[in-house]
Amino acid sequence: MSSRREILDLLRENARYTTEDIARLTDFSESEVAEIIEEFEEAGVIRGYQAVVDWNAVETDEERVRATVELNVTLDRETSYDDISDRIAKFPEVTSLRLVSGDYDFDLEVEGDSMREVSHFISDKIAPIPEITQTVTHYIMESYKEQGMEFDDHDDDDRLSVSP
């Protein structure tokens, strides 16, 4: 019997599967699938649906610059990680923000139209936040895999077309 979790797996695999597709791939009926997805959305389990884009393959002059930034912070009695993350996450330039273990505290991802824009954002908006003691910015030079998808040329199916 299929589980509700399986619907999440399928949407993570391809968010464009229709409810009809998902019903055919599981033991749920189409209306059950629609209902479960709605419940996931309302409960905040599913937060959104996005395309995985290989910007290098986009034929346009527009540049998309991304960087990951290591942030070190100091906490005091009045300031928690959540207080700091609230302030940072509000910026639209910030595409992801995670608290991590190890040498630094926050792992930040920033996106902009140019290196200049991203650099200014870090120096003007992030670095001046009083609790932040250090930033280390890494510009992303090449992306090989995003959200589970490899960015290589599609492997041709080299199996024999008919085999026993």
Partner 1 sequence: MTLEPATRVDSVPPSGIRRFFELAEEMDDIISLGVGEPDFSAPWAAREAAIASLERGQTSYTANRGKRELRERIADYEAATHGLQYDPDEEILVTAGASEGLDLAFRALLNPGDTVAIAQPCYVSYVPGATFAGVDVVDVPTRAEDEFKLTRDVLESAGAADADALVYCYPNNPTGATMTGDEIAEVAAFCRENDLVVFADEIYADLTYEHDHTSIASLPGMRERTVVFNGFSKAFAMTGFRLGYAMAPPEAIEAMNRIHQYSMLSAPTTAQYAAIEALDNCREEVTEMTAQYDRRRKYVLTRFDEMGIDCFPAAGAFYAFPECPWDDADEFAEALLQEKRVAVVPGSAFGAGGTGHLRVSYATGLSDLKEAMARIESFIE
* Interacting residue ranges for partner 1, rule: CB under 8 A: 6, 9-10, 14, 21, 23-27, 155, 157, 159-164
Smallest separation, CB 134 to partner 1 (Å): 37
Going from the C-alpha of 10 to that of each of 34, 104, 127, 140, 149, the distances in angstroms are 13, 34, 40, 29, 14
Query: Nearest-5° angle of CA 47, CA 52, CA 56?
Result: 145
Taking the complex as a whole, the smallest distance from the CB of residue 128 to partner 1 amounts, in Å, to 44
Cα–Cα distance for residue pair 59/56, rounded to 1 Å:
8
Q: Which is nearer to partner 1, 90 or 154 (CB)?
A: 154
Distance of closest approach, residue 13 Cβ to partner 1, in angstroms:
8
3-state secondary structure at position 65: strand
Q: Which helix (H) or strand (E) holds 6?
A: helix 4-13
Q: Which is nearer to partner 1, 5 or 77 (CB)?
A: 5
- Shortest Å distance, C-beta 11 to partner 1: 13
In this complex, which beta carbon is closest to partner 1, that of residue 37 or of residue 122?
A: 37
